Amino acid sequence: VFVNGNAIYQAAREGHYAVGAFNTNNLEWTQAILQAAQETNTPVLIQVSMGAAKYMGDYKFVKTLVEEQIRIMGITVPVIMHLDHGNYEAAKACIEAGYSSVMFDGHDLPFEENLEKTAEIVKLAHAKGISVEAEVGSIGGEEDGVVGEGELASVEEAKQIAALGVDYLACGIGNIHGQYPENWKGLHFDRLQEIAEAIDTPLVLHGGSGIPQEQIEKAIKLGISKVNINTENQLAFAAATRKYIEAGKDQEGKGYDPRKLLAPGKQAIVDTVKEIIGWLGTPSVK
């Protein structure tokens, strides 16, 4: 049921739009992301971090959860099932588990080793029709235990990794995971432009939450095709849940029923994902 990410993101790069990549954390997140994609009639990438997969069980369970929800919900838009920021073992496990896309994040390895391991993953994944994301430079901040210094991607390294045939490339361009600090300097558009001019590979903007809309739009014009969003949905979920409880709704009737208690947060994710899809300019599926 899952599709490989190559054609979808290649079309995005050529068409100067982006396709959202949303992290899932549980059942409600999965349902909300799929619902938003179906309602906007756009392709979507659902990704899971190593930490979230561990929280839910394992990689196979997450894949089965998404797959079964696609069936149960009658989802007809293309869905890419992707591993986010995987280490070597995780990437291999997801290739085995039947994901349609994996990220091998070798940013913390010496570059030669990142290159070598990325090449191995590309070989294993492509043999099974699975797309691969690699990373050069690093993303600042922390996501589920993956920590980065925010090192700016080098054009030379981007060229070498792209030459391995990766399907999409994450580059450090001043982007940060989690919430952006008050004194954040913004994205490094010059470096993004240099990389985009040097390679045709669709580029990935990690840490998509909290970047002003104009900067996201400019980055997409320059060559960003995949925008990763996690924190934005977490904030929306938390705010809607807080509002529900603070209004005392959990104390009215059977408002404490988890299916009622989690509903406003889930709806907030649907709304957030739909709004972001609008920003990215993702065209509808014919």
- Positions marked active-site: 84
| Cβ at position 86, least distance to ligand G3H in Å | 11
Q: Which residues pair with 224 in a beta bridge?
A: 203
Instruction: Return d(Cα 209, Cα 227) in angstroms, integer.
Output: 9
Number of residues that bind Zn ion (CB under 5 A): 2
One character per residue 210-249, x = contact with Zn ion (rule: CB under 5 A): ------------------x---------------------
Residue 23 in the binding site for ligand G3H (CB under 6 A): yes
Q: Which residues pair with 134 in a beta bridge?
A: 169
| Cβ at position 277, least distance to ligand G3H in Å | 14
One character per residue 175-204, x = contact with ligand G3H (rule: CB under 6 A): --xx--------------------------
Residue 138 in the binding site for ligand G3H (CB under 6 A): no
Q: Strand 101-104 and strand 141-143: pairing?
A: unpaired
Of 56, 50, 102, 104, nearest in space to 80 by CA: 102
Alpha helices in the chain (DSSP H): 6-15, 27-40, 50-56, 59-73, 88-97, 111-127, 155-162, 189-198, 213-222, 231-246, 258-261, 263-280
Of 191, 131, 193, 198, nearest in space to 167 by CA: 131
Phi first, then psi: give them for residue 83, nearest 5 degrees: -90, 130
One character per residue 207-226, x = contact with ligand G3H (rule: CB under 6 A): xxx-----------------
126 annotated as belonging to a binding site for a ligand = no
Residues in contact with ligand G3H by CB under 6 A are 23, 84-85, 143, 177-178, 206-209, 228-232
The binding site for Zn(2+) consists of: 85, 105, 135, 177, 206
